A = this chain, B = another copy of it.
């Protein structure tokens, strides 16, 4: 069930350390240290995504990408050195799905991998979906920034919308305050936990203004919040 990634780089350090990191994230990783080896390996063990260093001896990344593209539409992410931007242009025009300049953080790499895999369509885009959410009486349309409860429009601010969206995306699933913070602001912002409570309070208040029995946002003491699905 684990997604298999192919990692190609001639620098042994990068190869092993990045592989370790990815495996820690639950991916299976096949490592190759040059293009020819990678090409051969990919025939036998196809991967969901390939991560290629551009500069490699014997067969460089762009050439490898070309060969891969002859046989498969497998998503590809390029690794490039920071200073040679030419490579980026080259790689992308050749059909890479994304690129990352060294140095890169593990966080960035993971984000790109997830994004590319998501775009590639295999996985359910649960986290970032822009789709309308219709959970019983609740309707959330991100594109129109529209929220309604039992037909009545409920005016939410951006933050409130994002939080409710995160909750309603997986009805019944518990979200910690940290997770909600991620959903509304992203990784790099730290706020008081209790700020989430404040927003939840405001969301509840707005919904109760339309339906004073509204109780779909449940508090789980010591854990977080969840959106209760229809019974």
Contacts and interface: CB of A to CB of B under 8 A. Distances in A.
Interface of A: 11, 13-14, 17-18, 20-21, 24-26, 69, 73, 82, 85, 88-99, 102-108, 110-112, 114-115, 118-120, 123-124, 143-146, 157-158, 172-174, 178-179, 182, 187-190, 220-223, 226
A63 B96 CA distance: 30
Contacts of A85: 82, 103
Q: Kindly name the residue among A92, A143, A146 whose own CB sees the greatest number of chain B CB atoms within 10 A.
A: A92
B106 A145 contact: no
Given A98-B105, A143-B174, 14 more contacts: A18-B95, A20-B73, A25-B119, A85-B103, A89-B102, A92-B105, A92-B106, A93-B104, A97-B105, A97-B107, A99-B105, A110-B119, A111-B190, A144-B173
B20 A145 contact: no
